[in-house]
């Protein structure tokens, strides 16, 4: 069972995020699934269409998006994943015009599955680091020591 859940997560990352195949979302997400994501309006999206909107938003901004799974851990019906995502900013994102800059961020997700489909997920990733790499936020530098 744990390997089956890991395979579902790998498939979601590879086919949906890396290849942009949004049709796969309907196969892997339950109709009433809830996605908790800091970039979502109100912090959450509902259903496969919500996931498709989120993926589309990021893939339009970073058409060469590439996720690498660093770790997957299964506990019961949940999969925790640590990943690194990278891409080149070629489309508008959250009001930020394309910069052409390449960014790389890390993040964590916890996804709960039921009957082979995602029913709820929580994401936490380095949005501040992404915005700093795009030049939309100043980089924090250590204060000089005297």
Structural domain includes residue 140: no
Closest to 133 (Cα-Cα) out of 75, 62, 63, 81: 62
Q: Rounded to an integer, what is the distance from CA 41 to the centroid of its chain? A: 15
Structural domain includes residue 23: yes
pLDDT at 100 over 70: yes
Q: What is the pLDDT of residue 142?
A: 59
pLDDT at 66 over 70: yes
**pLDDT-above-70 percentage for the chain:** 95
What does the pLDDT look like over 16-65, one tens digit per residue? 999 999 999 999 999 999 999 988 888 999 999 999 999 999 999 999 99
Segment 88-117 mean pLDDT = 96
Structural domain includes residue 36: yes
Task: Give the chain's mean pLDDT.
Answer: 94
Q: What is the pLDDT of residue 36?
A: 96
Structural domain includes residue 43: yes
CA atoms of 8 and 111, how far apart (whole Å): 10
Q: What is the pLDDT of residue 40?
A: 84
- Domain coverage including residue 48: 2-134
Structural domain includes residue 107: yes
Q: What is the pLDDT of residue 139?
A: 81
pLDDT at 145 over 70: no
Query: For position 128, which CATH number holds?
Result: 3.10.450.50
pLDDT at 141 over 80: no
Structural domain includes residue 146: no
Structural domain includes residue 6: yes
Contact of 14 with 101, CB cutoff 8 Å: no
Number of domains in the chain: 1
């Amino acid at each position: 069972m744990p390997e089956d859940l890991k395979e579902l997560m790998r498939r979601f990352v590879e086919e949906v995020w890396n290849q942009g195949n949004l049709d796969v979302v309907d196969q892997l997400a339950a109709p009433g699934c809830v996605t908790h994501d800091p970039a979502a309006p109100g912090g959450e999206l509902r259903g496969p269409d919500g996931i498709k909107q989120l993926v589309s938003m990021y893939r339009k901004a970073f058409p060469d998006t590439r996720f690498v799974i660093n770790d997957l851990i299964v506990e019961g019906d949940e999969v925790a994943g640590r990943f690194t995502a990278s891409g080149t900013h070629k489309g508008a994102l959250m009001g930020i015009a394309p910069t052409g800059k390449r960014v790389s961020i890390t993040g964590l997700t916890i996804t709960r599955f039921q009957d082979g489909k995602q029913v709820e997920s929580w994401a936490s990733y380095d949005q501040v680091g992404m915005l700093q790499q795009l030049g939309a936020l100043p980089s924090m530098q250590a204060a000089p020591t005297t």
